[in-house]
Structure 1
Amino acid sequence: MNASEELSSRTFGNEARLPRVPLPTLDATCERFLEWCGPLLTADERARTESALAAFARPDGPGRTLHAALERYDAAEGVHSWLDTFWPYRYLGRRDRIALNANFFFLFKESPEGQAERAAGLIAGALDYKLRLDEERVPPAVQRGRPQSMVQNRFLFSTTRIPGAEQDTVRAPYTDAWPGPSTARHILVFFRGNMIRMDVLGPDGRPHTLDELRAGLDAIMKAEAASEPSTGHLTTKARAEWAASREALLALGNGTALDDVETALFCVCLEDFTPADALDACDHLLHGDSGNRWFDKAVSFVVFGDGTAGINVEHCGLDGTTILSFVDAVLGASPAELSRRSGAASQGLPATAPIEFVLDDDLRKDIQDAAASFAAYAAATATTTVSLDDFGADEAKRLKTSPDAFVQMAYQLAHRRAKGLTGTTYESIATRQYRHGRTEAMRVVTPEVLRFVETIDDPAAGREARREAFRAAAEAHVRRAKECQAGQAPEQHLWELQLIQKRRGAELGVTGPLPLFDSPGWLTMRDDYLSTSSAPSVNIRYFGFGSTSEQCIGVAYVLLPDRFNAYLSTPRPVADAMHAFADRLREAVRELRELLA
């Protein structure tokens, strides 16, 4: 897009003019792949990987045929990006549970409001956003003068992931099945396992006032605990199993109840307890009581007994940057101001009605088993927080280094000291400057990172050598992040070629095994020891997600000008290593600050 072109102020007004995600050449991807996996391999593993890669990419090899098919797809009419098929497969194709494994959360900044008041304010803010979005009055995001894709905003309201036997689907507005914005007027409120439909927009589409919303929530919170087990527990099951349970619900005549849940604008989950501390709040935002959740809903606000609040997000259509903008809008002005701006009008107590599912003994047992299984799964996850209120992005800049490179180098040093090795590290890089752009998968470990962690702990290395090693690693990190932002990264490209063979191998004549995808390089590069992602906003205290493998530590961090907060998660059998990593991380930040000062 030319700088001279006038940017549209309409929410989706710049989409058609955004550049396409670049499709790298196969040769560039192969070269980059070797470069990326190389530092993690022994000489023998590298030789085996090179041999598998050469066979894949030879002139008459399977890689060429698959890449040519991808080029044709990218050029086809109606295709926004060569990743158009990849993203649904990546998220909707996963067959394990999404609760804790895929959904992510934000813990909001503190507020003096009580529970019903805080929840009413969040509802009012979300409704203001929805009504502005419907009229395309939410300003498009712009970064360094470049407009960002806003398409994901279409998945904020009335969007629900639907489990499938082979692959999930999504029920959402702005689709052929449901053209235009959501026409739903209700939200779904959970309290003590009760599911209540509450109309938050009147018949003419105007929001209820803050007082009315609060009164509606107060009335809901007078309810006794639900007598039947909550169907919400089923949303924690592995996807194909949940699909079978959903069929069983439909067979018993629960179509209307499911319809109410799936079309609701969003969820508000009211907890009847106060969290012990920020970590306790984070843990409940990540998994919580699954009877008080519907993990398939795109957006669920969670509000605790003392007004502490946050959000749980289903990831298939929404990335952190979109949710951050939404949360910043909801928390960036007073609820009274947002309610007034939305045109809220007094229209009496909001209509509420319980959503009741007809259950038989088989489904009751299914729900109870799902609840017990998920509670055990959550208990098998260890978490902790790291909070530094004397270090932030401003300090890193004063030390003349990229703030993100600084914390990523601190992670590498802490991991090496905690676990005795440098392991594969994933970092999510936003690519919303492209049409339908989402994220790119960056792999952090470079030859410079290996030299840095060795030099720092080498007793013979002087201060200058250690400082130079840090600078070289940080610069390599920034270079690679820029490559990812430019769409020049190998992993998703190769992965999509692998998926094309799975989907269309017979028709393309690529039916044999592809040794590249069993090679040490491919397997090692994707086996995370650290899975990292950042969410910078003054409106959130913590951001979090589950770990991605048996030895992985999930590192979700909020790096602000004046402070740094991270939420760590890992499987309980390796909890000691996570706690050691947290301790070493605090030390590493202090040590690197002294080194660079």
Structure 2
Amino acid sequence: MTNSQGTVHVTDSHGTALPPTGQGTATTPTFALEDTLPRVPLPSLEESCERFLAWCRPLLTPGQLAETEAEVAAFLRPGGPGRVLHAALAEYDATEGVHSWLDTFWPYRYLGRRDRIALNANFFFLFQDTGQSQLDRAAGLIAGALHYKHQLDREALPPVLQRGRPQSMEQNKFLFSTTRIPGAEQDTVRAPYTDEWPGPSDARHIVVFSQGRMYTLDVLGPDGTPHTLDDLKEGLQAVLKADPGAEPDAPVGHLTTMARAEWAAARASLQALHPDNAAALDTVETALFCLCLEDFAPADTQTACDELLYGDRGNRWFDKAVSFIVFADGRAGINVEHCGLDGTTILSFVDTLLATPPEDHSRLSGARPQGAPTPHPVTFHLDDALRDRVRTAATAFARYGADTATRTVSFDDFGANTAKSLGVSPDAFVQLAYQLAHQRAKGHLGATYESIATRQWRRGRTEAMRVVTPEIVDFVATLQDPATDPATRRTALHTAARAHVTRAKECQAGDAPEQHLWELELIQRRRGDDLGITEQPALYRTPGWLIMRDDYLSTSSAPSTHIQYFGFGSTSPRCIGVAYVLLPDRFHLYLSTPRPVAAPMHAFADHLREAVQELRELLATDRPTP
């Protein structure tokens, strides 16, 4: 978020809040520093194995740890599978044209998943309310996005600086005209700034959804000049007037909620059925972004969040990188496809949009009156088989959404400043509260994920942090023991908080084991026969590897004064997704979990309230009275 001094507060990809950042000079082009950034460091095999054992140890029994240690030793032995796989990775990292040893990892991690991305992978922000009407709000968001694109195309957005270090701006290339394309085995991405589409997007249209119908609307004139707010509002009004109101036969957007291989097959059927379908897909995939106009107002804030995460009715294209959703009462938010965009980039984008009045965005972008743009329907031809697929997809996703339990939790009397005043890192404070609440809700600790931004590296994205440390185990045990005195509890709390901060810094520096070891496993899958490693190394079947990565909590932060809530789906059948907006004066969370385990999630929320208050009181008694 941006304050009055122009400082930008950045987090990781849905992750940890980072210290204040600033912008580079306006004379530095957006992408000018990309090739000067240092490369992501490749840890040694010994370092990653040592860290892996340290990270998984707090979650294992002595027997499980011994089994894991034995397989790590086998992995590390001279000539063993770990040595061969790491040598292959080091060779790849040194190959000309490779930006990072993670260049292959990231596409597999995001584009290789075969389940649905709707609810499972996409994330959302619910914006602060403005009191505007639906069409005023929608037109303003379009104007802000067009101004951002105008700056991006001219590379007038200076690189973000973090502690004086420039951050990678590469993800900005995936904001506009970017669409994930389903594949039978792995998805691909259609985007500008590629060999197929060099340079910025030259598209002039967006796709507007209304009651399951799709319209293409030119928001830039023939010469690339943006339409004015009045023009845009009139064009959107024409969309609503053009809509007859009856439910469309089979909104094709439902297909984007399917598992990826199933959607790939349906997309191929669309293309084969009628040549107009290929043109319609092209219109959607090249659109600058999607705008989803809803014909209802959510009953409450939690419902608004749910609709942003998995609302459908055919009124979404979940493969689109950016989709703005505006409800009938003017409340609004964004749904983001994650494969090319992390939370840091989206926060900068959203904060830039929302920190400036729409009228200023329009003026600064060079908008001029050109007459209202005319919406044109985007029409797909369907046969009975495709109609059945659409309806089946709609029913299945509605059921999947209904089987997801969610909850919003707000602390309006606690924020980052509160934690700082108590002498504790704000992120460490809330992470310790999560662990204490989880212990009390479920009776045990469990693997907890937190992503850490690594954009200071070339093409850097995030590193995986595992939150449960020995110090956190001791902290929870100490607070669960009624016999411990306050001084002992405070000592345990401070020790655990310092350990959390230390691990987060290590992750940001690239000193973390999970992605390194994971990429070695993926190399075995891709090249095992050529390398003589024909079977998956046993390390990846050990209790340590499986338990450390079996999330009970998946936690991420997106601090911005322009955002009410941030959210995403859970990552496993028993996981609680914990998306939080931790600001100086308030703390808002959106929780999600599969409905069969909803009761523990609600218990977690209740215990979290108690834990935050308990930790506040514990620390306050040790602070001098002002």
Asked if Structure 1 and Structure 2 have the same fold, meaning a TM-score greater than 0.5 normalized by the shorter chain, the answer is yes
Poorly superposed stretches of 4+, deviation over 4 Å: 5-8
Structure 2 letter corresponding to 1:113: Q
Once the two structures are TM-superposed, the CA of residue 513 in structure 1 deviates from its matched residue by 3.3
Q: Which residue of 1 aligns with 2:379?
A: 356
AA matched with 1:94: R
1:563-582 map, 5 Å: 563-582=586-605
Question: Which residue of 1 is the match for residue 514 of structure 2?
Answer: 491
2:367 maps to 1:367:
no
The corresponding residue for 1:240 is: 261
For residues 132-151 of structure 1, the aligned pairs below 5 Å read 132-151=151-170
Is 1:121 the counterpart of 2:140? The answer is yes
Q: Does 1:446 align with 2:469?
A: yes
Q: Any conservation in 2 of the 1:8–1:14 contact (CA below 8 Å)?
A: no
The answer to whether structure 1 residue 231 and structure 2 residue 252 are counterparts is: yes
1:385 maps to what in 2? 408
For residue 291 of structure 1, give the secondary structure of its aligned residue in structure 2: coil
Secondary structure in 1 aligned to 2:31? Answer: coil
Partner of 1:421: 444
Moved more, 86-95 or 55-64: 55-64
- What's the CA shift for 1:562? 0.4
Structure 2: distance between partners of 1:390 and 1:66: 51
Superposed displacement of residue 351, structure 1: 2.5
Which of residues 399, 410, 424 in structure 2 aligns to 1:401? 424
2:556 is aligned with what amino acid? S
Task: Determine if the alignment matches structure 1 residue 153 to structure 2 residue 175.
Answer: no
Aligned position for 2:542: 519
Deviation at 1:227, TM superposition (A): 3.1
CA distance in 1, matches of 2:232, 2:609: 43
Q: 1:174 to 1:398 in 2, by over 3 A?
A: same
What SS is found at the alignment partner of 1:382? strand
Alignment counterpart, residue 77 of structure 1, candidates 55, 80, 96: 96
Q: Does 1:461 align with 2:480?
A: no
1:459 positional shift: 1.1
**Mapped pair 1:538 → 2:561:** yes
SS in 2 for 1:240: helix
1:308 to 331, 352, 356: 331
8 Å contact kept, 1:162–1:168? yes
Q: After alignment, is 220-229 or 196-205 more displaced?
A: 220-229
Cα distance in structure 1, aligned partners of 2:535 and 2:170? 38
1:440-486 deviation line (CA, Å, top 9, x unaligned): 00000001000000101111100000000000100000000000000
Aligned partner of 2:214 among 195, 206, 211: 195
Counterpart for residue 61 of structure 1: 80
Deviation at 1:508, TM superposition (A): 1.0
Q: Which residue of 2 aligns with 1:507?
A: 530
TM-score (ref. length: structure 1): 0.98
Aligned residue among 317, 321, 345 for 1:322: 345
What amino acid maps onto 1:307 in structure 2?
G
Q: What per-residue deviation string (whole Å, max 9, x for no partner) do you get for residues 199-235 of structure 1?
A: 0000010000001101111111121235321100000
Greater CA drift, 512-521 or 38-47: 512-521
User: What is the deviation of 1:157?
Assistant: 0.2
Q: Give the SS at the match of 2:346.
A: helix
Cα 1:262–1:6 change in 2 (3 A) is closer
| Partners of 1:160 and 1:171 within 8 A in 2 | yes
Listed one character per residue, the Cα deviations across residues 564-594 of structure 1 (whole Å, up to 9, x for unaligned) are 0000000000001000100111111111011
Q: Tell me, what secondary structure is at the counterpart of 1:512?
A: coil
In structure 2, relative to structure 1, the CA distance for the partners of 1:246 and 1:87 (3 Å cut) is same
Determine the structure 2 residue equivalent to 1:331.
Answer: 354
Compute the displacement of 1:6 (Å): 9.0
Q: 8 Å contact 1:125–1:330 — kept in the other structure?
A: yes
* Matched-pair contact (CA < 8 Å) for 2:273–2:381: yes
Cα drift, residue 512 of structure 1? 2.6
TM-score normalized by structure 2?
0.94
Alpha carbons 2:178, 2:285 under 8 Å: kept: yes
Task: State yes or no: 1:474 paired with 2:494.
Answer: no
Q: 1:257 aligned to 2:280?
A: yes
> Does structure 1 residue 111 correspond to structure 2 residue 111?
no
Counting only pairs closer than 5 Å after superposition, residues 185-224 of structure 1 correspond to structure 2 as 185-222=204-241, 223-224=243-244
The residue type equivalent to 2:266 in the other structure is S
Q: Compared with structure 1, are the counterparts of its residues 80 and 8 closer, same or farther at alpha carbon in structure 2 (3 Å cutoff)?
A: farther
Cα deviation for residue 290 of structure 1 reads 4.4
How large is the RMSD of aligned CA atoms in angstroms? Answer: 1.0
Show the counterpart of 1:26: 45
Contact 1:557 1:564 in 2 (8 A): yes
Aligned length: 593
| Contact 1:229–1:364, Cα closer than 8 Å, also in 2 | yes
Q: How far off is 1:8 after superposition?
A: 6.2
Residue 277 of structure 1 deviates from its aligned partner by: 1.1
Q: Distance in 1 between matches of 2:218 and 2:27?
A: 34
Structure 1 gaps, min length 5: none
Structure 2 matches for 1:544-555, cutoff 5 A?
544-555=567-578
| Cα offset, 1:7, TM superposition | 9.7
Question: In the alignment, which residue of structure 2 is the partner of 1:184?
Answer: 203
Asked if the contact 1:39–1:446 (Cα under 8 Å) also holds between the matched residues in 2, the reply is yes
Percent identity between the two aligned chains: 70
Partner amino acid, structure 2, of 1:96: D
Alpha-carbon distance between aligned partners in 1 of 2:385 and 2:579, rounded to the nearest angstrom: 39
Residues 380-400 of structure 1 deviation map (CA, whole Å, 9 limit, x = unaligned) = 000001100110011111111
